[in-house]
Structure 1
Amino acid sequence: MRVVLHIGHSKAGSSSIQRFLIDNQAALLERGVATAGKDFEFSNEAEIRRPPNFWLEDKAKDPVSAGAGIREALEKASQDRRVKIAVISAETLGRRERADLFEGMADRFDLKVLHYVRRQDAWIYAAWKQWQVKAGLTLEEWVEQCLSRTTPDYKGIWSAWTQSAIPEEAYEMVWLNEKTLTGGDLLTDFCARAGIDGDGLARPGRINPGFDPALMEVFQRAPFLFEGPHDNVVYRYLEDRLPEEAFVSGRMPFPLAKAVMDSFRESNETLRRRFAPDVDHDALFGLEPPADESGESDIDRLYRAMGYVLHLMANEKRGKNPAR
């Protein structure tokens, strides 16, 4: 049996892959693919609703027991003749120490590790939006923290998995870039690399979209809107009700982005030579200064943020329910 470990990275399409696996679990099982659920049960035995992130977080406190539990679940799945591929998708596996949970399993299963990553300036911005902004942290403060800790450490994760858990050839790092993704698309690439027939299967809609920078400034200055880093109530409410122009792919200012990419240049070049040797360095990691990053004032952004609030109030007064 082939075992596909999708180990993330967080903020690199993991939610889209997991939504695809969960939404299509019945059809995938007909094609020989079983997916691990929240309690590490596989979809050939039970309906799954969430990936096993929290199970792994809890069980990994005792790595020996966790490794035994994973092996037991995989052995059980392999006894079902319908199952040719078992997929475990959990971005928490991207931590270095998680590799130890799978030590020796390549001797029993055809193991493949898929690690999708975003260039670091984009990842840091997305992580700020998802978690740090809710604590009131400025983007500049978050960038400083990331650079001081070498976060995200893609090179370190690659080393941890290939030095202790799996053969070098079983590990694939894939940059979220149209030049490195099969067909220029994440889900097409995932299915191709995992050996899954994905033709005709349902695809998820928009997941974790970016917000207008005007709204991001409001969130950062009003952390009382959130009850913690994983509280997404405000985000979900706005995702369902704001006009399309409120959703943009946010980016950090050019000077910050340059500092980030300069910091990771050496490790990125090592990873490019190993995993994307046919793609030019600048095609993956290059930066072009914007024509003008100073054309919008703080007051302009404030007016626009107020406009979004008035949009929500007016639609509610009209009795409209624009939730998508």
Structure 2
Amino acid sequence: MAVKLYLHIGHLYGSSGHIEALLCANRDVLKARGYGVCDSQLLLSGKPGSSAFFSPYLDSDPSSPSLSAVFRNLRALADAQGLQAVVLSAPNLAVPGGAKFVAALRDYFDCKLLYYFKRQDDLVVDWWMQGDFKTGEGLNAYINRLVTTHPRCHYRNALEEYLDLFGHDRMRVQFLWHKVLKGKTLAQDFWHALGLDAEGFIDAPEPAPLVSSYLGAALKESPYLFEGSDDEELIDFIRSYVEGDPVHKVNPLDVEPRRAIMQHFQPENRWLKETFFADVKMPGWNAVTDTDDRLYDVSPAGMTEIINIQLAMLKELQQDVSRIKKRMGLK
């Protein structure tokens, strides 16, 4: 009997953390319904999430026999447990070359690919937050550089490779917008994509960003605090003292930079609509309004974030002073 494999390939910035949180929270529920969830070793026993397995191999030979053996072993595990389906989430696979890398899965499973993506004006903010703010480059400057140097597509290159190898019928590409998501939420849409009724599943909130774009904008004013875009020492320090959970914030961009981004990626969005949503009514899905339509958060959450940072730094300073006084024999 054919075993289905639901391969979640991304996008990495397409609420992939939320999907893996859902898989973690509902692993037992899925098992009871005949669905196994892959872990970081491509086995069915550890914590859900397989990006760590694929990361070392993404630059290797896609025809490596060792990977075929791993896929064969995964199928054997599914058969031994009597599973009707396996869920494999590896959102780092949504890159050029990723399709050839996992093509051998077709030899052992009836594959169905799942892919979620967001608007590029949200995506670009995520890119900047990965480290460019640490260099002192502001978000608007980053956008100006991007629209003059970045190709006019980002999602398309990888998706075309998956289309060539797996075919349109085996791909489910979904836009992260409540108006097109089944049940208007990612969770319900994801369970639907797996062919399951959402009833009985545990809700898992989307993980909030550890650093908001507003904090990034403040820290970019002091690039001397970072040795480079990969330096996480200060960020880890702030996280260690901040009280409460991080909060989701609205897109920080004004109208003009948002429009510049969406115009830059217009050819790609046209291709996405024609290829995957030809029969779906999506008015305004890639539009930018003439006025700022953001809902500004004037609750204490934003102020709390700033206060927490200041308190953290004051606490560290207090500890430094205490250490100095101790060495000098002062009270």
The answer to whether the superposition gives a TM-score over 0.5 is yes
Structure 1 counterpart of 2:24: 22
> Take 1:39 and 1:108, find their aligned partners in 2: how far apart are those partners?
17
Greater Cα radius of gyration, structure 1 or 2: 2
How much has 1:261 moved relative to structure 2?
Answer: 0.5
Give yes or no for contact 1:13–1:116 (8 Å, CA) kept in 2: yes
Change (3 A) 1:95 1:26: same
Relative to the length of structure 1, the TM-score reads 0.79
How far the C-alpha of 1:53 sits from its partner, in A, is 1.3
Map of 1:178 onto structure 2: 178
State how 1:265-304 maps to structure 2 within 5 Å. 265-280=266-281, 282-291=283-292
Shift of 1:49: 2.4
Query: Following the alignment from structure 2 to structure 1, what is the Cα–Cα distance between the partners of residues 186 and 158?
Result: 21
Cα distance change on mapping 1:76 and 1:108 into 2, 3 Å:
closer
Find 2:54's aligned residue among 56, 61, 84: 56
Residue equivalent to 1:321: none
Identity of aligned residues (%): 20
Whether 1:250 aligns to 2:251 is yes
RMSD (Å), alpha carbons:
3.4
Partners of 2:93 and 2:10 lie apart in 1 by: 7
Confirm or deny: 8 A CA contact 1:211 1:249 kept in the other structure. Answer: no
Q: CA deviation at 1:280?
A: 4.8
Q: 1:292 to 1:22 in 2, by over 3 A?
A: closer
User: What letter matches 1:268 in structure 2?
Assistant: N
Distance 1:73 1:128, change over 3 A: farther
How do 1:216-235 and structure 2 match up within 5 A? 216-223=216-223, 224=225, 229=230, 231=232, 233=236
How far did 1:229 drift?
3.9
Per the normalisation by structure 2, the TM-score is 0.78
> Alignment partner for residue 4 of structure 2, among 2, 7, 26?
2
Runs (5+) with no aligned partner, structure 1:
296-301, 317-324
Matches of 1:141 and 1:123 in 2, distance apart?
16
SS at match of 2:111: strand
Aligned partner of 1:67 in structure 2 is: 67
SS of the residue 2:284 aligns to: helix
Question: Secondary structure at 2:80's aligned position in 1?
Answer: coil
Q: How many aligned residue pairs are there? A: 302
Match of 1:196 in 2: 196
For residues 174 and 208 of structure 2, the distance between their equivalents in structure 1, rounded to whole angstroms, comes to 20
Conserved 8 A contact 2:5-2:109: yes
Residue type of the alignment partner of 1:202: I
The match for 2:244 is 241
